[in-house]
Amino acid sequence: MTSDSTLRDAASRWIAADPDPATRAELEALLDRAGDDPVAAEDLADRLAGPLEFGTAGLRGPVRAGPNGMNVAVVTRTTAGVAQWLKGHGHAGALVVVGRDARHGSEAFATAATEVLTAAGFDVKVFPRPLPTPVLAFAVGRLGAVAGIQVTASHNPPADNGYKLYDATGGQIVPPSDGEIERAIEAAPPAADVPRAPGAEVVDLLPRYLDEVATLPLGHERAVRVAATALHGVGADTLRAAFERAGFTDLHLVGAQTAPDPDFPTVSFPNPEEPGATDLLLALASDVDADLAIALDPDADRCALGVRERDGRWRMLRGDETGVLLGSYVLSTVDRTTLPDPLVATTIVSSSMLGEIAKAEGARYAETLTGFKWLVRAGVGLVFAYEEALGLCVNPGFVRDKDGIAAATLAAGLAAQLKAQGRTPLDVLDELAQRHGVHLTDQVSLRVTDLAVRGQLMAKVRQMPPSRLGGVEVALEDLLPDADVVRLTGEGVRVVVRPSGTEPKLKAYLQVVAPVTDALADARGAAQERLAALRADVEELLA
């Protein structure tokens, strides 16, 4: 905004076009304070700085009034744009499914989306209550919908909400769809002028989804004790129902985190990857003498596993450890008479061990750009996909996205089989390391306040790439124009650097690989030393 008057004019126009009296009043009050309060003036400018960007992850931002926030007006105009995009692709009047989580504003946003689509002539079906995102992805495919909308901010902070869009494939949208939709949103009328109408049909696809989860290759053993948390999200009831349907009865949930609560009172950041987020889970696992710990993120599309170390202490597995653990198990269960050429996939920033496992099993392997929108499009015959950020798809046959509920259920089946054999997931990870080498991964994440800094650092790496990292010579591979990513590789070393797509961060993903020629402990120790040296070099590179 170039002046106070321009700012006030823009605020007044937005207020006049906002159909929600609550956010109209919110912005009016802020506008009144902005004349005398510099903090309020700065807040107002931020809310009007521009519309939330619609990308392949849809929308995500703070719940607040104004175009640069998640609110009924923004959701209304966004859905009007989605409706025009669908009509432009020949889908007028077709079926669209709408779901939601339990975050602040989710019910109102889902209602706005369903009413805009209904008024636009679409056949709209909506879930009766907050449900995990994988159930929405399942419903798109099972009902033959041309699109699905899930109102969720996944594992973002409590203040946020979001809007995730699936296309007719049952997967999240990919370019150029995001750009086409963004232009359609820009052309949409003011929110108050967008027609809305009730009449969406309420449907419950959860029983059919649970039936499918129960068909996963769970083995015959059911004697396993699991501690789990939903981190105040919507996953607890669905996880409990999935376990019951599959025959796992010894489930213990973290009571303080079981009921959906949009304020997430027991965690500072509702992401299983964050330090402290799983403290209550691991304490429960220890108290009940569990065989496995499971953490879902708030919309239950991600799944983290926790295990007891041999000294009795509990820890969460890294995403790559869980990925190779479940990936190797899925490959061992594939019926090669019906699927002789299975495919497994991960991303360019995840551990490369899955590729070694696939080679040993005679399966195909693919690496894609980051994001499940790419992973589920990795190729025909896909049986498993994962990304290091706790995304797991163990069931691409009926959910073309990451699915924490299905992954948790499969993990329980694996843990039960291992327990019956007197083994644990750690034994399997040791065996994989012995067979394919120690693969250690880590991440260097640089948070920035000025997004331009990310571009400057990426340019620095491209123009002056290091010749050595972690004590070995490395060569640079630039993935432009396909992706703003650089890859630095050397003997047993790999570093992938990219800007985050959802956060103001520059991320570097590190991997070292060491063969096991003698004792596994010695190989792991040497790899840890090499990883520490690599991390120090990368931190200096991005300083």
CA–CA dist 116, 304 (Å, integer): 36
Would you say 509 and 369 are in contact if contact means Cβ atoms under 8 Å apart?
no
**For tokens 């983290």, what's the residue?**
304
* Residue 296: its H or E element: strand 292-296
How far is residue 488 from each of residues 4, 320, 493, measured CA to CA in Å? 48, 19, 8
Q: State the residue for tokens 């007891």.
A: 308
> Cβ atoms within 10 A of the Cβ of 193, count?
12
| Residue spans of alpha helices (H) in 378-513 | 404-420, 425-436, 452-463
Give, in degrees to the nearest 5, the angle at Cα 106 between 101 and 112: 130
- For residues 425, 431, 436, 441, the Cα torsion angle rounded to the nearest 10 degrees is 40
Q: Which residues pair with 513 in a beta bridge?
A: 439
Helix residue ranges per DSSP H, 334-450:
353-361, 372-375, 404-420, 425-436
| Residues forming the active site | 154
Assign 5 to helix, strand or coil: helix
Contact between residue 319 and residue 297 where contact means Cβ atoms under 8 Å apart: no
How far apart CA 84 and CA 68 sit, in angstroms, is 22
Q: What is the largest CA-CA distance in the chain?
A: 74
Q: Are strands 364-368 and 382-387 parallel, antiparallel or unpaired?
A: unpaired
Residues facing residue 474 across a β-bridge: 490
Q: For residues 106, 104, 166 and 445, what is the CA-based torsion angle, rounded to 10 degrees?
A: 180
Residues in CB range of 290: below 8 A, 6 or more apart: 225, 226, 227, 252, 284, 308
CB 469 within 8 A of CB 511: no
Cβ atoms 542, 508 nearer than 8 A: yes
Task: Confirm if 384 and 330 have CB atoms less than 8 A apart.
Answer: yes
**Residue 287: other Cβ atoms inside 10 A:** 10
Residue in 209, 204, 108 with CA at minimum distance from that of residue 151: 108
Q: For residue 467, give both structure tokens.
A: 């010749």
Helix H, strand E, coil C: the string for 96-153 is: EEEEECCCCCHHHHHHHHHHHHHHCCCEEEECCCCCCHHHHHHHHHHHCCCEEEEECC
Q: Closest Cα partner for 252 from 223, 285, 282?
A: 285
3-state DSSP call for residue 415? helix
